[in-house]
Chains A and B, each alone.
Chain A
Amino acid sequence: MTINQIQDAIIEEFGCFNRWMDKYEYLIDLGKKLPIIEPQYKTEQHLIRGCQSQVWLRAELRNGAVTFTADSDALITKGIIALLVRVLDAQQPMDIAHTELYFIDAIGLQAHLSPTRSNGLLSMVNTLKSIGEKFSKAH
């Protein structure tokens, strides 16, 4: 699936949640299930420091596609990371570099990616995009 097909699928799924609680319970659940980044990569090098919650991000180029794993110490942040992994994992570097992540807005989580939220997510997305850029040039 393309990045936008996955984004559209997520928007449709979230359309079923009428109450904020359902949405957040789902995110918390996703956060709990997110495969955790292997401990040896949970290092300073992979850390994206937010003021409150921390994010770890590890990206590799495998067979021309970017695979990445990420983690956070806060569950809701982890839930959103799980969505981002679903959208961007195994995609082409060029596509990642140029993607517009409209699903975040559409499912009402934009506050989590605004510069006022000090959870490291915005930096994570920016880092991911610049990794996409870097890999597509190296290609």
Chain B
Amino acid sequence: MKPPTTSPTLDVAAIRRQFPILAREVNGNRLVYLDNGATAQKPQPVIDAMAHYYRELNANIHRGVHHLSQQATHAYEQARETVRAYIHAEQAAEVLFTSGTTAGINLVATCWGRKHLKPGDEIILSTMEHHSNIVPWQLICQQQQSRLKILPITHAGELRLDAFQELLSERTRLVAIAHVSNTLGSVNPVARVIELAHAQGALVLLDGAQAMPHMRVDVQALGVDFYAFSGHKMFAPTGVGVLYGKAALLNDMPPYQGGGEMIERVTFDKTTFAELPHKFEAGTPNIVGGIGLGAAIAWFAQFDAEAVTAHEQDLLAYATAQLSALPRVTILGTAPHKVCVISFLLADAHPFDVGTILDQQGVAVRTGHHCTQPLMDFYNISGTVRASFAIYNHRAEVDALVAAVARAANMLA
């Protein structure tokens, strides 16, 4: 007998109870945390895994013969395996632990760029990139006398694939694009970007910082060459992240930083380097961070991906409708395919003023340029107010946001 086919739904109330911080008050109101794009809150299992590590396992890894060191090493490498399975990398050696997205992109720009970029070579970025996916490329392009080309976007906040095809040429060596825009929420058509870039012989790096907290990513199905993300935006601690890279590419790159852990044999004449992933992980890593990231992924993976998407899309549709119904609110980023991130402006009020008044009402949002100044220039504004949601947000918090914005509108008019 077949079980009834009901699509699973999320028990958001139960999820909320796993986040102790959501119970606290701010300025006399229950916290409404809508700054998930900056960093997500941590569920109890992640907090527990980290406390457990310090209580029971703390030791330096990979080098010790003693029991604790072996247990700690096992826990850390187990976390790497959890990440591997979750993003469906072929081997755990392709999963490099970093300090975050920024570090991962810098690693690729520096190590791959120094070896492979030649004068006149080109790298393509888009208008909507985070500074973390701009500045490392500017630095390496200066050093190598290579050039950046900018893939334009539409007013709604979508990549202009027509223009992309024109920009791609035999000079294009790499395309570095956000999987999801942190300011607009646009989900970019990365499969198509990869297909077009690969057809031209260019590599693709995806900045997955804002995609990972919302969707399942399969690096092999995408065929992506490098994929960077941060733990802290996906319910894990700060200071840990991942750079996925295809083994052949990583093996071919020179190491990043020199030090312990990353060597095979050191003499004053010559040093040989360790195998992947250790070649790129010099020094004692953020052990508890890696373990926390493993715990966060295990926690997040228990939820049905479609149910998560359905819940977040419901929040997006509801919040978009409610905010749009307010007079003088303009939403930036209206691509048909978005995650639940809403940037908006309130008439000509300064986003800082709006954010300050929302904060007085316990509503945490982000204001400013969101580290995307070229995107602000594109819209000819200095900043926006951004509400960014996560799995644990619910409709009542949309209502709180909308009421708080309505009040700010009155006060600032």
Contact = CB atoms under 8 A, between A and B. Distances in A.
Interface of A: 20-21, 24-25, 28, 51-53, 73-77, 118-119
Interface string B354-380: 001100100000011000000000000
B370 to A, nearest CB: 11
Contact of B383 (A52, A77, A119): A52
B357 A24 contact: yes
A121 to B, nearest CB: 11
B351 A52 contact: yes
Contacts of A75: 349-350, 353, 412
A53 B27 contact: no
B352 A119 contact: yes
Given A28-B411, A51-B368, A52-B368, A20 B350 contact: no
B411 A24 contact: yes
Contacts of B352: 52-53, 74, 76-77, 119
Interface string B132-160: 00000000000000000000000000000
A74 B385 CA distance: 13
A24 B368 contact: no
Contact of A74 (B350, B360, B407): B350
Nearest to A79: B353
B412 A52 contact: no
Contacts of B351: 52
B357 A53 contact: no
Contacts of A77: 352
A1 to B, nearest CB: 29
Contacts of A21: 360, 407, 411
26 contacts: A20-B27, A20-B360, A21-B360, A21-B407, A21-B411, A24-B356, A24-B357, A25-B411, A28-B353, A28-B412, A51-B368, A52-B352, A52-B368, A52-B383, A53-B350, A53-B352, A73-B350, A73-B382, A74-B350, A74-B352, A74-B353, A75-B350, A75-B353, A76-B353, A77-B352, A119-B352
Interface in B57-86: none
Nearest to B350: A74
A76 B411 CA distance: 11
A53 B383 CA distance: 10
A25 B353 CA distance: 11
Interface centre among B27, B352, B357, B412 (most CB of A within 10 A): B352
Nearest to B407: A21
Contacts of A25: 411
Contacts of A52: 351-352, 367-368, 383
A118 B350 CA distance: 14
Nearest to B366: A52
A58 B227 CA distance: 48
Contacts of A20: 27, 360
Nearest to B383: A52
Interface centre among B353, B357, B383, B407 (most CB of A within 10 A): B353
Contacts of B411: 21, 24-25, 28
A24 B351 CA distance: 15
B349 to A, nearest CB: 8
Contacts of A28: 353, 411-412
Nearest to A20: B360
A77 B412 CA distance: 13
A116 to B, nearest CB: 12
Contacts of A74: 350, 352-353
Contacts of A118: 368
A76 B356 contact: yes
A80 B367 CA distance: 19
Nearest to A77: B352
Interface centre among A51, A73, A74, A118 (most CB of B within 10 A): A74
A37 B254 CA distance: 55
Contacts of A51: 368
Contacts of A73: 350, 382
Q: Which 5 A-B pairs have the closest CB atoms?
A: A74-B350, A74-B352, A52-B368, A53-B352, A52-B352
A99 to B, nearest CB: 25
